[in-house]
Structure 1
Amino acid sequence: MEAYDTLSEAMNALKAQGYQEDFNLQANCIVCENQEYEILHDEFHIDKSFRFDDNEDPGDQSVLYAISSEKYQLKGLLVNGYGIYSDSITNEMLEKLK
């Protein structure tokens, strides 16, 4: 299993593995940075995830997801905070991102 010390180190390594898109989390889907696609929970797969936790700064807690979508032929990354800073999302998206 891959292990990275920092979020930026993980992102650079995953981009080198072909995860080029930047995804953003919406309430019921993820969207590409260019807003070209809205990808629903059943249209993507989480290939890998990495949790980064800075014990000194609770605001610097995040999860990095390496995501692929066969339907749209895309691979990319989603960075999301967790804990009290998490976004409000649908139950389907919550289950997918567990």
Structure 2
Amino acid sequence: MELEVSDIVEAVSELVKRGYDREYRIKNGRLRDLATGTPIAASDIHVDAALRFESGSDAGDGSNVYAISDRATPGKGLLIDAFDTLDRHCSRELFERLAAGRQTKRVAQPDVPSRYDLRKIYKSEFERDPERFVLRIDFPDFPPCPFGQSFSVLGFDTAEQQYVWLVTSILRDSRLARVPYQEADTPDNA
């Protein structure tokens, strides 16, 4: 499927109009339908469209969107890899199926100060104080996702106490601490 879009938000909007209304995520290395919680076998997916959007002069920050049909069900949905990290989170078979034939579009946004209303952190700022930034996973207080879906991870500036957009090269840096959400124990007042 050919799409004439200029950015990932426009791509998601166009794909939703074309009936891709389910939200897919990678959980434990497998593709899952978030509405049903069921895993989808890599052999059951058909990638109808795959787009990669790169910004910055060095293409160090990228996002991907995949329009997927589930051959085992009538479901069609989107997998959004806003942080360009799927290769680290899914099986090789699934990643190869997703990335095959992916189109790359360069977005003219070199050195923008923010992305999706979040302050953008470049590698140079991270290098000055790597312990200042963490990657929060599945926190309930994430800001709204501009794609109409939901974030599963976001950068967090511990000094400013605010969510930030970390460029891809930071997400791949082994010094970045990953902090999964853990619900606080609440006392039983009954």
Whether the aligned pair in 1 keeps the contact of 2:70 and 2:76 (CA below 8 Å) is: yes
Distance 2:11 2:80 in 1: 11
Distance 2:27 2:97 in 1: 13
User: 2:21 corresponds to which residue?
Assistant: 20
Letter in 2 for 1:95: E
Deviation track 1:47-91 (CA, whole Å, cap 9, x = no partner) reads: 0111111116834x1111000012121000001133xx4433222
Give 5+ residue unaligned stretches, structure 1: none
Whether the aligned pair in 1 keeps the contact of 2:32 and 2:39 (CA below 8 Å) is: yes
TM-score by length of 1: 0.83
Q: How far 1:38 sits from its partner (Å)?
A: 0.6
Distance 2:90 2:17 in 1: 29
TM-score by length of 2: 0.45
Distance 2:63 2:54 in 1: 7
SS class of match (2:89)? coil
Give 5+ residue unaligned stretches, structure 2: 100-190
User: 1:58 corresponds to which residue?
Assistant: 60
Tell which structure's C-alpha radius of gyration is larger.
2
The number of residues matched between the two structures is 95
Q: List structure 1 runs of 4+ shifted beyond 6 angstroms.
A: none
Whether the aligned pair in 2 keeps the contact of 1:28 and 1:40 (CA below 8 Å) is: no
Whether the aligned pair in 1 keeps the contact of 2:26 and 2:89 (CA below 8 Å) is: no
RMSD of aligned Cα (Å)? 1.9
SS class of match (1:9)? helix
User: 2:95 corresponds to which residue?
Assistant: 94
Q: In percent, how many aligned pairs have the same letter?
A: 23
User: 2:41 corresponds to which residue?
Assistant: 40
Distance 2:44 2:69 in 1: 9
Distance 1:75 1:16 in 2: 12
